[in-house]
Amino acid sequence: MNPLKWLSDEYFDLNGLYVDVLEEPPTALEFSRLAHISRPVLIKGFEIPANSKLWTDEYLIQRMGSRSVSVAVTPNGRADAIIAGPDNKFYFTEPCVEEMTMANLFANLSEDDRSQGSETYYLQSQNGNLYSSQFFEGREAPSEFESLRGDVPSEISWCSQALDRTPDAVNIWIGDGNSVSSIHSDPYENIYTVVRGEKLFTLLPPTEGWCLNERVYPHASYVRDPDSSQLRLQPSAEAPRVRWSSITDPNLPGALCDSAHPIHVVVKSGETLYLPAGWWHHVRQSGITIALNWWYDIEMRGPSWVLLEFLRNIKDVPDGNEKTKHNEEETAQ
């Protein structure tokens, strides 16, 4: 018996593809129960000052003025993804981060698909760009988005009360349909609100992570060549290797083995997704999309953490650039 296959089948048999939909935000007690169940929930009616009517391009550009923000730039819309380098080896590749004004960012986003070849811009700094853990510790915590803080509560009362903690990071995300987030999981409870546009999540439970064929890859970054002004992939000299799924797009036919049961959730403007810690997610977006997320540390004392650790460590992770017996077996499955 493959214990990982057995477990994922068992979990699927019990829970299927069910995603709860709430017509209004939960109470703290209700959300505590949902966090214990640890399945995705689509929440409607969670209202914050930042909403699609207020957060027009013009409003954001005006509020941010000449302040610069850190934007991820890639030649292909794939930041933090496995990309073949000039030596044909695969690298976990971080984006080129460039500073620009909000006006400049919006000038580079599109509601439509663009012609190939142009660069893709995605504000995805995800370092607590609105509120960081320092902020919650009461320390000095400057933010690139200081002037938008009035529109975004630093914490969500029903979530903070349920989890008995403040967030670890609150982020703003601004991008368009050219950006895709490769499938990965985070050790955080995630409350994800879409302000404008829509996000298309492909989700897998932690138990199906073994279907994603994780590998370890050398690290690289996109850098802008000073001569050509073009982006090129540059392997990192010293960065540690990165563990990442070798599956580029879980939505392609045959990409996943039979034991994987992806769940598709569209989160529209004004809607909020509870994405439980450890759930795998691949994210696309439709048109110019603005989102906010609150990351809360997972409860490390309980079975959720134990299970995630077990699933993460029960198997060795092969090298992504070596054709090993292990890799061949997985491909043959």
Chain residues that interact with a second copy, rule: CB under 8 A? 3, 6-7, 10-11, 14-15, 28-29, 32-33, 35-39, 161-164, 206-207, 299-310, 313-314
What's the token pair of residue 251? Answer: 């939505």
Q: Which is nearer to a second copy, 35 or 64 (CB)?
A: 35
Strand 81-84 with 78-79, pairing = unpaired
Strand 188-204 with 280-297, pairing = antiparallel
Q: Which is nearer to a second copy, 122 or 279 (CB)?
A: 279
> Which amino acid appears at position 151 of this protein?
D
In the complex, the smallest distance separating the C-beta of residue 79 from a second copy, rounded to whole angstroms, is 30
How many Å apart are CA 246 and CA 174, to the nearest integer? 26
In the complex, the smallest distance separating the C-beta of residue 242 from a second copy, rounded to whole angstroms, is 22
Q: Which is nearer to a second copy, 21 or 300 (CB)?
A: 300
In the complex, the smallest distance separating the C-beta of residue 117 from a second copy, rounded to whole angstroms, is 45
Q: Which is nearer to a second copy, 3 or 142 (CB)?
A: 3
In the complex, the smallest distance separating the C-beta of residue 187 from a second copy, rounded to whole angstroms, is 13
How many Å apart are CA 112 and CA 197, to the nearest integer? 12
3-state class (DSSP) for residue 158: helix
Strand 219-224 with 90-94, pairing = parallel
What's the token pair of residue 11? Answer: 């979990």
How many Å apart are CA 329 and CA 333, to the nearest integer? 6
Q: Which is nearer to a second copy, 224 or 326 (CB)?
A: 326
In the complex, the smallest distance separating the C-beta of residue 316 from a second copy, rounded to whole angstroms, is 9
How many Å apart are CA 112 and CA 165, to the nearest integer? 40
